[in-house]
Amino acid sequence: MKKNPIVEITVRSEFAAAHRLHARELSDEENARLFGPCNNKNGHGHNYDLFVTVRGPVDPVTGMVMNLFDLHTIVKEHIFDVVDHKHLDEDLDILGGRTSTAENLALVFWDIVEAQLGRFAGVELAKIRIHESRGNIVEYCGA
């Protein structure tokens, strides 16, 4: 076995949310052209599939990078409970006015999770992966 291996662990969380793709900087016509049906005035919904991956050394006593239960709890309390069954643009201010693309959601979720990992020594956030639909997938690795 490799010495001091670094292992990634992932938790998955599904949530339902509505949103509207609409860039404030663009005109109504430009938004309609750019986003098509996703610019629908009253929004539309997705069943989002969120994967949060952290990495770190395997604790020789517990055999774990971190307790998956703790990572599930972070995602549930700080993301799922905030966004599930909400309109991402109308009900929440987590995006700070930015367009509610999966890219921007990944950036916001990154900051949310990273802020909770400080108490887990040696554990760092590795990836936020969002499946907005079966065919549309966004990943952010902190760059």
Q: Site size for Ni ion, by CB under 5 A?
A: 1
Binding mask 27-46 for Ni ion (x = CB under 5 A): -----------x--------
Catalytic pick among 19, 22, 131, 132? 132
Is there a catalytic annotation at residue 141?
A: no
CB 56 within 8 A of CB 119: no
Options 85, 90, 139, 141, the catalytic residue: 85
Integer Cα distance of 43 and 82 in angstroms: 18
E strand intervals along 1-143: 6-19, 44-57, 86-87, 124-131, 137-140
Shortest distance in whole angstroms from residue 51 CB to Ni ion: 18
Site residues (CB under 5 A) for Ni ion? 38
Indicate which residues carry an active-site annotation: 38, 85, 132
